[in-house]
Amino acid sequence: MNREEARKRAEALVGQMTLEEKASQLRYDAPAIPRLGIPAYNWWNEGLHGVARAGQATMFPQAIGMAATFDTELAGAMADTVAVEGRAKYNAYSAENDRDIYKGLTFWSPNVNIFRDPRWGRGHETYGEDPYLTSRLGVAFVKAMQGNGETMKAAACAKHFAVHSGPEAIRHEFDAIASEKDMEETYLPAFEALVKEAGVEAVMGAYNRTNGDPCCAHRALQKKLRGEWGFRGHFVSDCWAIKDFHESHMVTNTPAESAALAINRGCDLNCGNTYLHILRAVQDGLVTEETITESAVRLYTTRFLLGLFDGSEYDQISYYEIESREHLALSQKAAEESFVLLKNNGILPLQKEKLHTIGIIGPNADSRAALAGNYHGTASRYVTIQEGIQDYAGEDVRVLTSVGCDLFRDRTEHLALTLDRLAEAKEVAKHSDVVILCVGLDETLEGEEGDTGNSYASGDKETLQLPEVQLDLMKAVAECGKPVVLCLMAGSDLDLSYAREHFDAILDLWYPGSQGGAAAARVLFGEVSPSGKLPVTFYETLEELPEFTDYSMKGRTYRYMTEKAQYPFGYGLTYGDVQVEEANICTEGSGDDITELSVKAIVKNRDRTATDEVLQIYVQYLEKENTIPHPQLCGFIRVHLEGGEEKEVTVPVAARAFTIVTESGERKAVTGRFALYAGCSQPDEKSVELTGKRPIRMDYVRKL
């Protein structure tokens, strides 16, 4: 069923409803209308990295880990798994007349906000700091989730529109001030791509205001969304965001006024209960019935597109699809691709036959929470890092373990003295040939306001430092003098200066999902080469960044930073030795609206170890009009190379890469000199220093 037909069906059905019935359908928990044969429907579901909050489901790596894969095909496969398992649940539960929250087919994912500041607690829900990478992964996610069948497989939602990335503590009253240039250049491109390229079915507004207007009732953003971009789906508020209008933003005085402001400015669906006052708003002359009708029609158009009234080709998806063998294998593959090797002095991969004893130490070594991130479902089985290594080592290698310390408290047992597991950790280290030290955070320390145990910062980080007890543990283990591989499990930038100086290897595992331990063991022991790339910058200090509340991009992210990174965006080592041997610009088809040119590159693995590698293309405008100080990502492709293998690969570069954005927010195509770079990292000096390789530069003169 196409959208036009679905809308006509929706108009006919909504036309039979009373005003009260229409108004009732604008809530996330829309009640049944028995006289019309309409069942209840709950719009609220989550599927960021697996079906979330709905019981058993395949749990993939957190979104930031998926971003580190630089693998759009994989992101799509994950989203398809979410849709399939979501359908399996919907089919089973609706047959039982269970239409509760988290059991529908409208998933409020993906989160395509820009991770502009490492302090933001929800940054690990995103695809990182780069608008291009975010848009490519987001488009792949949406297309796969929604499918290309006769009916929509599941409905995706682009959130949180549009300028939203902390601080969490003040999000309900905060006004994020962003220039027109930053809006067009950084904050809006991913949303535009999801609307125009992927046809995303829903868009969710943010809690905060942006440039004065609440995001769930934003005149300029709605004009861009439905006007310039041609969005035809439905718009949903973030949960209880509309009551912020009168309680926190103070732009209205009553719930009825808030409901009126939201719906009159394009918000069709209320996650929350403020739309309970919408009939009062009608009585007060603040809202017309026609406006309510239009929102109801938009919502029912989505329900018809999903085949919820006529049936669909997905109605036979079996409950056996949930956590199928294939889905679990895909989750493990995703974890393996997501790991970023930041340092390796040659200790990795570990050689099991040369080891007698492995020590596994740290609060995240045997932590299920550190596998999960947030917005997660429930796996039927979790393989922690400790369990994965124990399983892999088998009977041949002795494994000693110690939690070492609590995640952040100063003792693990209430009646014990402080640092009560430090002696144990030292003994494990002393008796081991090599130590795997697992430190980091989990969703209780970085996450969403109200959902974390980090109440003092409402889920945000106040520092780039690990909790003090973990720093104490790191120092104690280092002093034992044994080889140490540090495994970081977190969703954001943390200061790794101590580990960089004192440990033999650093592997960033993010929050790797339920199969994370099995994946980690395969990577640590060389069954698979690490191949992930950082989707965010690891800064040396917070001091180089602007204030957290400053939404200007100046000084932020790899595109605008002024200092050298600790570990740069796009950086990640492998066990192979892949070099870009040659790169050339191919201009056949130039002038197309989608592709301006392509870069053809020859990549060769000079090592005997097979590996995946990510070829990255960066572009920089060299004329004085340009105001982005550093080259920016404009293309990438993941390529597998056997030992000694050489391949020619082609990466298309969109015409958009050859545009600039003026201070007034106008994006315009420009002529003149550009530099393009092809390499396995960005072309900054820190990446060259860390990899020993410099991307190939190609000059390109663009003419009219």
DSSP of 214-233, one letter per residue? EGGG-HHHHIIIIIIS---S
As a residue count, the chain comes to: 704
- In terms of DSSP bridges, do strands 157-161 and 209-210 run parallel, antiparallel, or are they unpaired? unpaired
Confidence (pLDDT) at 408? 96
Q: Report the distance separating Cα 316 and Cα 319, nearest Å.
A: 9
Distance in angstroms (rounded) separating the CA atoms of residues 571 and 440: 20
For 146, the token pair is: 């929604």
pTM greater than 0.75 (yes/no): yes
Protein fold of 331-536: Rossmann fold (3.40.50)
Q: Is residue 410 flagged as an active site residue?
A: no
Tokens of 483: 């080889």
Q: Where are the domains of the chain?
A: 3-15+22-318, 331-536, 578-702
Residue reference for tokens 């059905």:
13
Q: Give the residues of the chain that fall short of pLDDT 50.
A: 591-593
- By the 8 A CB rule, do 268 and 164 touch? no
Six token digits for residue 77: 């496969």
Residue 297 tokens read as 């029609």
Domains 3-15+22-318 and 578-702 share a fold: no
* Set 117, 130, 213, 238: catalytic member: 238
DSSP secondary-structure letter at 1?
-
Please identify which residue in the block is written with the tokens 């929250």.
Answer: 101
Alpha helices (runs of H) in 503-583, residue ranges in sequence order: 516-524, 557-560
Q: What are the pLDDT digits (tens) for 597-610? A: 999 999 999 999 99
Q: At a CB cut-off of 8 Å and minimum separation 6, what does 416 contact?
A: none
Residue appearing with tokens 């047992």: 413
What tokens appear for 230 in the block? 């041609």
**In what helix (H) or strand (E) does residue 236 lie, and over which residues does it extend?**
strand 234-236
What is the per-residue pLDDT for 589? 55
Distance CA 59, CA 53 (A): 11
* Fold entry, domain 3-15+22-318: TIM Barrel (3.20.20)
d(CA 689, CA 540): 15
Write the pLDDT tens digit of every residue in 422-432: 999 999 999 99
Q: Is 6 exposed, middle or buried (0-12, 13-18, 19+ CB in 10 A)?
A: buried
Query: How far is residue 622's CA from residue 645's CA, in Å, rounded to a whole number?
Result: 35
DSSP helix/strand/coil, 310: coil
Phi, psi (degrees; rounded to nearest 5) at 447: 175, -150
DSSP reduced 3-state for 556 = coil
What are the residues facing 245 on neighbouring strands? none
Name the class of domain 578-702.
Answer: mainly beta
